[in-house]
Chains A and B, each alone.
Chain A
Amino acid sequence: MALDSKVPQGPLKDKWTDYKNHINLVNPANKRHIDVIVVGTGLAGGSASATLAELGYNVKAFAYQDSPRRAHSIAAQGGINAAKNYQGDGDSTYRLFYDTVKGGDYRSREANVYRLAEVSANIIDQCVAQGVPFARDYGGLLDNRSFGGVLVSRTFYAKGQTGQQLLLGAYSAMNRQIARGKIEMFNRHEMLDVVIVDGKARGIIARNLVTGEIERHSAHAVVIASGGYGNVYFLSTNAMGSNVTAGWKVHKKGAYFANPCYTQIHPTCIPRSGDYQSKLTLMSESLRNDGRIWVPKHLKDVEAIKAGTLKPTQLTEEDRDYYLERRYPAFGNLVPRDVASRAAKERCDAGYGVNATGEAVYLDFAASFVRYGKEQAKIHGITNPSEAKIKELGQEIVRAKYGNLFQMYEKIVDENPYETPMMIYPAVHYTMGGVWVDYNLMTTIPGCYAIGEANFSDHGANRLGASALMQGLADGYFVLPYTIGDYLADDIRTGKIPTDTPEFEAAEKEVKERIDFFINNKGTHSVDYYHKKLGKIMWEECGMSRNAAGLKQAIEDISALRKDFWQNVIVPGTDTEYNEQLAKAGRVADFLELGELFAKDALVREESAGGHFREEHQTEDGEAKRMKEFQFVSAWEYKGEPKDAVLHKEALEYENIEVKERSYK
């Protein structure tokens, strides 16, 4: 099948408006005869469910958590971008579009990104109307902060809990529709397959995670909003339950999977402390606004710090290497995430890592304390303040901005970041790749949509900070509700989709067989045993930098591990009760397939772009080297084993932006 992105014709800035004006609509009386399933209730799924229900569709929403409010969008800390230009610093729709395409290393679809930038302002308006308590300045107007990879302040935030507040906003919109009966909410339910009838997505098979019951649910369209697949690495900043299952199931039923190798490794996470580690904790990128990143200049100092004979605060400025400021003077500590992460890895690989594992660099606020302190002293009219007074005043400002992050750091690491620099290290955070979708956000299965992190479309090879929240809400509030109508307009006379058909029966049987296998396979290793092994392969061979030999090895290793898994995995308990191990087994089984496709995709992509860095393709000073011939989206078609997947290419054209060497120097 040839890939058709269905990008409308016409000038970039008019595409979305013109398109909306010409697509089919469903009349309000007919909407109530149409059902839509939404899998996942994070920012994308939650906002889509609410909006579709407001429009009049009957929505069935599914979440594996016990409430929609717990979806992992909640963990996003820093903020959400919008081209409001409230700061008057020259921001515009075009600039947000430009920054996003450039930040994504010219691997995203121009029309989608422009649309995203266009609706970004609406998101802020909508959220404020919903009662989202964004931070405000003393004049009562909305405050902004600046994020990596851009030269303007366009990030709106709610303390360090922006994702939480936006999700609770979407959740509240859902609640209103649940109360009206327009959304039927299925908490603690997991989608285990999609059902295709006559080539169209017409329902799902879901498992009730409390009772173990397998349920059939039908609808006229299915929306996958199940988030990213970062947990393929075992250790990531994702929630423990985050998984690829919904996306992978639709992939196996005909949806192409795009760019699996584009993974974002976030530079400011708390370093790993031991083998028992179950997940990694991210600290908002906003910290890089005020923190300076460094490692010691001399290896002897590194050794002394590790041995505990030298404190980082004792090191003079001359003995410190502020490597981001050194390498990228224009953006300094605010380079995009991929660049910052790789630079940290480069220093640590060279032996300059400052903790026991050798995988940590400093994020130092001492300079901010002084800068803010002096400013405050002036404001309060204190003449000749002492150094201690300046530090105290400065710390107050930093506490007001990042207090909760500092507290979180101290709880985890047991060190006071006001007194000694923080230690950070990159960790897997976000996956730009995902289910391939066209301009309508529809996958290659008619009637099956993918939104939010689950799809691939807007971030290219690297996502800028504060853009994930923007994309999730843009898809759910402002894009999908329009585009889905165009498809559903043909379904106004279809009537309820029956679930007692051979298609549902077959899908249910397949699901049940897999569950039976897990319950009855009296193996020797736990699910986590395999998940950890997979994660180690992924981190070592498909992590921050990759090479052909390593990727080939990874493909072999994952394939062998998968075989082992299907022979020796053990799942205690039964299938008719709350059984977390059983749920996990299914998820890890899918990760074991995705992981291999991931490595294959990374192997095929013979270039470095954004989060994908191939050691073979770098400039002399170690920067990523993009290749013109790889200016396409890799969309993989499922053909059985991951090794048999077939590559389809969607060429990326840039008509409104000049493709340049991405430079932050």
Chain B
Amino acid sequence: MGGFFKSSIGRKVSMALSAFFLMFFLLQHLAINILSVFNPDLFNEVSHFMGTNPVVQFALQPVLIFAVVFHFVMGFVLELRNKKANGAKYAKNNGAANSTWFSRNMILSGITILAFILLHFIDFWFPEINTKFIQGDWSGVMEGVEGYRYHEELVHKFLHPARVAAYVVAFVFLGLHLAHGFTSAFQSVGAASLRKKLEKVGIAYSIIVPLGFIFIALYHHLNH
């Protein structure tokens, strides 16, 4: 089995497995965040649960971090290997004739998403870690805010137009990444017939999920 993950196909399968996890994560992330628009109180409740539940914090969060790091590191490793395998460049290459731009440029969309994640970590994750693990405050409340603090923090982040713009751009790239990645992951694990059946689902997913996040960002920006 160890040999499997060292092989080209094993690496590709591991990319797909981490992708499945990340795609599931995105879906639940969107589901919770969309509550911030429709039901701030419920949003706060769920956020507090996710932020303090030990299973989420000490089991799922490390898995998520691992999946994110792994997906990026392996993505770069494969890109470098593929570049090496590719050798010299063609004087003329008509890639558009046989494949989509976004399928050929996963590394570009990936790097954009990576940059976004850094921003996202600075915005949300680092402060959270700081509050909970360094200051030891697991209460979920903040001075001057009624109830839990999460909704207020979220709204606050989307006040600045530059950040909103950055989020929107990043989500567009996420959409492109998913437009290829969703079905590609099924192909990688050998589910070719599922890949074909889920083609439309993949397109829907890659549009709806990023659009949902964009909607949240714009909603809060425009309404506060």
The answer to whether any beta carbons of A and B sit under 8 Å apart in the complex is: no
Interface of A with B (CB < 8 Å)? Answer: none
